Homo-oligomer: A and B are copies of this chain.
Amino acid sequence: GVIHHIEGSLNGPLGNYASDGKMKGLAVLRSHGGRWQAIQDGEVHIDIAIIAAPTADPFGNCTGDRGPSACGLLGFGLADSLYADHVVVVTDNLVDFPCVPWQIQGNNVDHVVVLDKVGEPEKIVSGTTQITKSPDRLFIAELTAKFVKAAGIMQDGFSFQAGAGGTALAFAIYLRELMKEAGVKARFIRGGSTKYLVEMLEEGLTDFILDGQTFDLEGVRSMRENSGHINTSPFTSYNWHGKGNFASILDAVVLGATEVDINFNANVVTHSDGQMLHGIGGWQNCLFSKCTILPIPSFRNRIPIIVDEVTTLVGPGELIDVIITERGIAINPKREDLIKATKKSGLPIRKIEEIKEEV
């Protein structure tokens, strides 16, 4: 093979392969924002970028929100279009100039190639975008929503980010009910958009979805039709080498983790045996939110998830505010404000050491 190494997310079989030391060069894990930064800073130079575009014009303007292979947005290809030496757009839906909207601008594109088919849009609904059916995880999601309310975060004009994991989706659904009950409206939700967030937008529970990755076809439709469903990019959302980014102004972010430890450090990349089996996505990029919450089960396949020290330190404890398990809610001792706000909430607030001792 001619591939020396891979920089990006390494998960599944590829993660196994790299974990076992079989990759010739050094694998570099990069988050969504980290990838943008590396390209922008010149740390990674891209000779040729191939961008699959569901709709494009002959000039190279292209969009992901329409066409037979519509996938939502092309934000992850934006840096490539800006910085690669050669940019090739591949489409199966060529329209007359101008392709509007132009999520990627033809002024950055060298060539447009037309193929019969560039993708299967129904496949963008991956296994991670199903709501969990596990009673434990549904309970954790419910606890998380109740915590967000009890902590005073769920106020008119607030914002939150929930990824496409099953628990995160369930959290959004529980929170939606609490918002309806209280008559509270969000200013914006950052997603991974799904039909659940789209429903919230269409019900008037939020002014905007700031979409970083469209996870189902309802998300694609909404982006195309609803002027409140906005496409974003790692530049707008996650770029820490710029003049600001949206992730830092979120009121609450809900993320997954493979392990956490008693100092609130978290791991999202490896299992306890050190195998890299999960992508990073925008995980670390989200940690500067005003309240970062990890709702996780205390056991997975009989392996305890709260440990003395994480196998791989991905998120430092000072940036993790709350860990929520089916055995209770642990608030980072640094967040005295959250501890105080939820003291009389009736929620099972516990010390993380206590929860760990039980598992």
B-side contacts of A342, CB under 8 Å: none
User: 0/1 per residue, A204-244, Cβ < 8 Å to B?
Assistant: 00001010000000000000000110100001100100111
Shortest beta-carbon distance from A57 to chain B in Å: 10
Of A69-77, A100-108, A308-316, the stretch lying at the interface with chain B is: A100-108
Once the chains bind, are A244 and B106 in contact (CB under 8 Å)? Answer: yes
* Residue A356 lies at the interface, judged by CB distance under 8 Å to chain B: no
**For this complex, into which size category does the number of interface residues on chain A fall?**
20 to 34
Q: Which of B109, B110, B188, B239 meets A107, CB within 8 Å?
A: B239
Once bound together, how far apart are the Cα atoms of A187 and B210, in whole Å? 31
Once bound together, how far apart are the Cα atoms of A208 and B246, in whole Å? 31
B-side contacts of A157, CB under 8 Å: 96
Once the chains bind, are A244 and B107 in contact (CB under 8 Å)? Answer: yes
Once the chains bind, are B242 and A108 in contact (CB under 8 Å)? Answer: yes
* Residue A60 lies at the interface, judged by CB distance under 8 Å to chain B: yes
* Residue A98 lies at the interface, judged by CB distance under 8 Å to chain B: yes
* Residue A97 lies at the interface, judged by CB distance under 8 Å to chain B: yes
- Centre residue among A157, A227, A243, A249 by max chain B CB count within 10 A: A243
Q: Nearest chain-B residue to A237 (Cβ)? A: B107
Once bound together, how far apart are the Cα atoms of A210 and B101, in whole Å? 12
* Residue A245 lies at the interface, judged by CB distance under 8 Å to chain B: yes
Once the chains bind, are B208 and A96 in contact (CB under 8 Å)? Answer: no
Shortest beta-carbon distance from A195 to chain B in Å: 22
- Please judge, given known A-B contacts A98-B230, A187-B97, A249-B97, whether A235 and B107 are in contact too, CB under 8 Å: yes
B-side contacts of A227, CB under 8 Å: 100
B-side contacts of A230, CB under 8 Å: 98, 100
B-side contacts of A105, CB under 8 Å: 235-236
Shortest beta-carbon distance from A303 to chain B in Å: 40
Once the chains bind, are A59 and B244 in contact (CB under 8 Å)? Answer: yes
B-side contacts of A97, CB under 8 Å: 187-188, 249
- Please judge, given known A-B contacts A59-B249, A249-B59, whether A208 and B100 are in contact too, CB under 8 Å: yes
B-side contacts of A100, CB under 8 Å: 208, 227-228, 230
- Please judge, given known A-B contacts A107-B235, A236-B107, whether A98 and B210 are in contact too, CB under 8 Å: yes
B-side contacts of A106, CB under 8 Å: 243-244
Once bound together, how far apart are the Cα atoms of A230 and B98, in whole Å? 10
Once bound together, how far apart are the Cα atoms of A97 and B208, in whole Å? 10
Q: Which of B107, B188, B210, B245 meets A242, CB within 8 Å?
A: B107
Once bound together, how far apart are the Cα atoms of A110 and B230, in whole Å? 23
B-side contacts of A107, CB under 8 Å: 235-236, 239, 242-245
Q: Nearest chain-B residue to A100 (Cβ)? A: B230
Once bound together, how far apart are the Cα atoms of A245 and B59, in whole Å? 9
Shortest beta-carbon distance from A80 to chain B in Å: 13
21 A-B residue pairs with Cβ-Cβ distance under 8 Å, sorted by A, are A59-B246, A59-B249, A60-B244, A87-B243, A96-B187, A97-B249, A98-B188, A98-B208, A98-B210, A98-B246, A100-B230, A106-B243, A106-B244, A107-B235, A107-B236, A107-B243, A107-B245, A108-B243, A109-B243, A109-B244, A110-B243
Closest 5 CB pairs of A and B: A107-B242, A107-B244, A107-B236, A96-B187, A107-B243
